[in-house]
Amino acid sequence: MDDGLIISAGIDYISASIKSTEPSAVQWFGKATQYAEDVAKDGNEIKPAIRLGYQGISTAGVFVGMREDGYFVQISGERAQAGFDAIYNHHTHFSRLDVQVTCATPLGNPLTAINAQAAIARANETISKARQRDATLIQSLAKGATCYVGSRKSPQFGRIYDKYAESKAELYKNAWRYEIEFHNQLATQAARTFHTSEYAQSVQSAIFVKQWYQKRHIPCPWSTKAALYALPSIPKQTSDVEEKLKWLEMQVAPAIRRLLKLGLRDTILEVLGLDDRLT
């Protein structure tokens, strides 16, 4: 672990699937099923279950199932850390992947969530409106404060919350959890990063989560020995209007400039149907 303040760090939730047409699908399903059976050996009951149309088994936060078009696994909580290594392969599609760091803070630092929201508000004052981020603060007498970073409808968002207030477990006394939730393309990218990392999952998580929040101007109290060079991202999709403008700039404009040099301005306007509007 990178820092003595960190109580736990790692992958915290997995939803993943593989198509039945993939050559490795049956083997993938076998490994997932074996992981569920290993979890059950700790005294957890295996029950039949159905999720998202997949029929299979569930035990202690682990579900494994199948349907005609493929196989599906869902793992929550600490079991996702070992479960990730059990089910990952290059053909796996991750519909959701959560990564967390739970960190001790002096006397619990009750303003952690409030300070996170304030940090984003300060950053928004210095950047363009298009680049500004949202942060929602929720405070509860029962579960403490939580700062949601971004929108739950987006492919990625974060939450910072009082882990002791949420869990009531003494292990998390005075601790806050910094969590990121990725979906689909970003989840699959993040999974690939963890699979290929030279670091242990806990160390990679500490690096990964810290960089994600720092990019959003929220400081994290733990230190790390290294930094990632690229977080998961979705390539910007150009709009139809942007494509047309680019076509005009690259293809049409050079031809028009050549015709203008030949003194054909009126002819150009007539061909474009603009001669009446501009006279």
What are the tens digits of pLDDT across the range 90-122? Answer: 999 999 999 999 999 877 788 999 999 999 999
Both 108 and 229 in a single domain? yes
Cα–Cα distance, 87 to 83 (Å, whole number)? 6
The tokens describing 234, both together, are 């979705």
Task: Single out the residue of 149, 155, 141 nearest to residue 220, CA to CA.
Answer: 149
Both 214 and 135 in a single domain? yes
Both 166 and 204 in a single domain? yes
Is residue 17 situated within a structural domain?
A: no
Both 3 and 124 in a single domain? yes
Both 245 and 195 in a single domain? no
Both 175 and 71 in a single domain? no
Looking at 95-109, 199-213, 218-232, which range is the least confident one?
A: 218-232
Q: Vertex 115, ends 111 and 121: CA angle to 5°?
A: 150
- Residue 108 gets the label, from left (phi > 0), alpha (psi -120 to 50) or beta, of left
Both 190 and 109 in a single domain? yes
Both 128 and 169 in a single domain? yes
H or E segment and range at residue 242: helix 240-247
pLDDT (average), residues 125-146: 90
Task: Single out the residue of 220, 214, 225, 221 nearest to residue 106, CA to CA.
Answer: 221
Has residue 140 got a pLDDT over 80?
yes
Higher pLDDT, residue 80 or 153: 80
CB 78 within 8 A of CB 149: no
What's the domain count of the chain? 3
Cα–Cα distance, 54 to 63 (Å, whole number)? 10
Sheet containing strand 6-19, edge to edge, reads: 47-51, 54-59, 62-67, 70-76, 6-19, 93-104, 175-183, 156-162, 144-149, 135-140
Is residue 222 situated within a structural domain?
A: yes
Both 73 and 148 in a single domain? no
Q: How confident is the model at residue 1 (pLDDT cuts 50, 70, 90)?
A: very low
Both 1 and 105 in a single domain? yes
Counting every residue, how long is the chain? 279
Cα–Cα distance, 156 to 213 (Å, whole number)? 12
Has residue 253 got a pLDDT over 70?
yes
pLDDT the model gives residue 245: 73
Per the prediction, the chain carries an average pLDDT of: 90
Q: Which amino acid is residue 137, in one-letter code?
A: L
CA-based torsion, 175, 181, 186, 190: positive or negative: positive
Both 212 and 245 in a single domain? no
Has residue 238 got a pLDDT over 70?
no
Q: What are phi and psi of 224, to 5 degrees?
A: -135, 160
Q: Vertex 5, ends 116 and 167: CA angle to 5°?
A: 70
Going by the DSSP 8-state scheme, the letter that residue 106 receives in this structure is G
Q: List the domain range (segments joined by +) for residue 248.
A: 240-272
Both 125 and 182 in a single domain? yes
Cα–Cα distance, 33 to 10 (Å, whole number)? 22
The strand pairing partners of 67, in sequence order, are 70
